[in-house]
Structure 1
Amino acid sequence: MSSVRQIQVTFDCAEPRRVARFWAEVLGYAATPGPEEVTPEDDGSWAACVDPSGTGPRLYFQRVPEGKVVKNRVHLDVRVATGLRGDERLAVLEAECARLVALGGQRVRLLPADEENESCLVMQDVEGNEFCLD
């Protein structure tokens, strides 16, 4: 029986470097290839970003010819307000949302707290991939 040691999350996209830069800023990751790693033969068909601490998964972005058509079946939850509740949680979510909108993200909607879940914000990255601020 094998044991998985690491995972990579792969995004299909039109502009891999642009999407990688966005996610690197969101998560505090380092984008690759950096300007010093780009070669004349590089066609920009891929990019990645990695957690500098080495603990988070690598995110890989690959160019595909087709555009995004439907809702993601898998999405990332960016956990910025873990353990917070009520107005304090909403303030943290709103502040992070404003930062990500300035990077090119888009706010979709607030999912208000209910009996089971705390509030979260649904957003989209620079190519329309959904994610949640949680």
Structure 2
Amino acid sequence: MTRSLMASRHRWIYLGAIVLLIGMLITGLLTYTQLRDTNEANRKAKQLSEALTAAGYPVPSQDQIVHTLGQDGGAVCDDPAGALQQAQWKYGMANGAGGPGQRPVLSDREVIFAEAIVLSVYCPDKLAAIKDKIDDLKLEDTVRN
């Protein structure tokens, strides 16, 4: 064989090895990122479980918390003090009737403070804005223990 033919074959081997190594590098980076995100989600879920238990609330399973809130709090942390979130929040505190019979009710303060615990774990920077909104609500002790 000639020297140029051998060099040509070796070039393909080197290029193939480089492409394979780059593919393995990308796969490793993606796996590391996903594992880091999963560890962060599990750490925050554990922290939330402990905070809810300390406050006397029932606690969902660790998997439910991780799947619902992830590592960043999901929908709970998306502008919690915004007008749309507040409207949905207050709608949830209505009597359940539709149309003209619908009216707000006095919500239990423990239900409202549970959201504050979630915010304190997942997005503490947004907690101050929601605390002002909570202070404006008329709350009572309406849930029996």
Per the TM superposition, whether the score is higher than 0.5 is: no
Q: TM-score, normalised by structure 1?
A: 0.28
> Which structure has the larger Rg over C-alpha atoms?
2
TM value normalised by structure 2: 0.26
* Larger strand share, 1 or 2: 1
Greater RCO structure (CA 8 Å; 6+ sep): 1
